[in-house]
Structure 1
Amino acid sequence: MAGLDSILASTVTWIETHLLVDTVRITTAPVGEPVLNEDTGLLEYPKGDLVYEGPGAVQGGIAQSEVSAIPNAGQPWLKETNSRYRLMTPLAAPIAPKDAIVTVVQVHNPARADLIGRMWICQDPGIAATTEVIRITALDQNLTAGRDVTP
């Protein structure tokens, strides 16, 4: 439908200009065991491969992301997340795979600098829809890894 496509295209432009104003990095889940850094006393996790680095936004839990899934009979309960977030990236960005790590590497507002280095885990690949204007990926805060914003 030509009218709808025009509206969606202008919405995409607005969102990418006014909402996706921070820089996020998506890497594959690290493979291997953490190694103790004797200088800091902290475990250092191996780095995953870079999937995407560019414009994006991380949003705290909202109504749609607060829905809990119940397994089918005979299925084990999946680990419930305690901290639900959403990653928003442009449609042109690659789809983040399940278990990928999302890190905020730059913020547009200096008052939000405490978000730099914060990490989340992708709960599933990006959400798909027939009328998309932004890519949305469900996240859970990664509380086990240290902050690291090095490329």
Structure 2
Amino acid sequence: MPGLDRALAGVTRWFTANILIDTVRVTLPAATEPVLNTSTGNLEYPEGAVLYEGPGAVLAGNSAAEISAIPDVQQPWIQETKSRYLLYTPLDAPVAPKDAVVTVTAVHDPARSALLGRAWTCPDPGQAATVEIARRTPLDQIRIPGGAT
């Protein structure tokens, strides 16, 4: 429908200019094993292939129902939660596949740097719809052992 397409084009331009203002990177996990760094004693994971790096936004999920807990049969309480987020990228960005890793590499405002240093995994491929203004991909935050983000 020409009228709908014209209206969506305007919304897409606005969304891109006002929401997709940070830089995100989508990578595939490396297929090789980690290597021991003898000077630090730590395992170092090789970099995965970069699928996309460019404009995007990572936003927190908007519903408490999107936070699910992972029960541990050894504990009488729930130890860990999955933090649900959404990745938005332009429509011409590639679809992020399942298990891709997403990071925010630059933010538009230095005061908004809380997402830097965090990583997310894609539990499912990027979503698609017949009417879209941006690509939307569900994310789960990757937690570092010991409770740090």
Question: Which TM-score band (shorter chain)?
Answer: 0.7 to 0.9
Matched-pair contact (CA < 8 Å) for 2:97–2:126? yes
Structure 1 position 122, deviation (Å): 0.8
Moved more, 80-89 or 130-139: 80-89
Q: Residue 9 of structure 1 aligns to a residue in which SS?
A: helix
| 1:102 pairs with 2:117 | no
Match of 1:36 in 2: 36
* Percent identical residues: 57
Alpha-carbon deviations, 1:13-51, whole Å to 9, x = none? 000000000000011122122233344444321111110
Q: CA RMSD in A?
A: 2.3
2:30 maps to a residue whose letter is P
Moved more, 131-140 or 23-32: 23-32
Judging changes above 3 Å, is the alpha-carbon distance between structure 1 residues 24 and 129 closer, same or farther for their aligned structure 2 residues? same
Q: Specify which structure has the higher proportion of strand.
A: 2
Aligned residues: 134
Match of 1:123 in 2: 123
Quick one: distance in 1 between partners of 2:131 and 2:67? 21
Matched-pair contact (CA < 8 Å) for 2:67–2:82? no
Judging changes above 3 Å, is the alpha-carbon distance between structure 1 residues 39 and 109 closer, same or farther for their aligned structure 2 residues? farther
Which of 1 and 2 has greater Rg?
2
Quick one: distance in 2 between partners of 1:83 and 1:30? 23
| Residue ranges of structure 2 left out of the alignment (5+ in a row) | 69-79
Matched-pair contact (CA < 8 Å) for 1:65–1:138? no
| Residue ranges of structure 1 left out of the alignment (5+ in a row) | 69-79, 146-151
Give the ranges of 4+ consecutive aligned residues of structure 1 lying more than 2 Å apart after TM superposition: 32-43
Quick one: distance in 1 between partners of 2:64 and 2:7? 23
Matched-pair contact (CA < 8 Å) for 2:51–2:94? yes
Match of 1:22 in 2: 22
1:101 maps to a residue whose letter is V
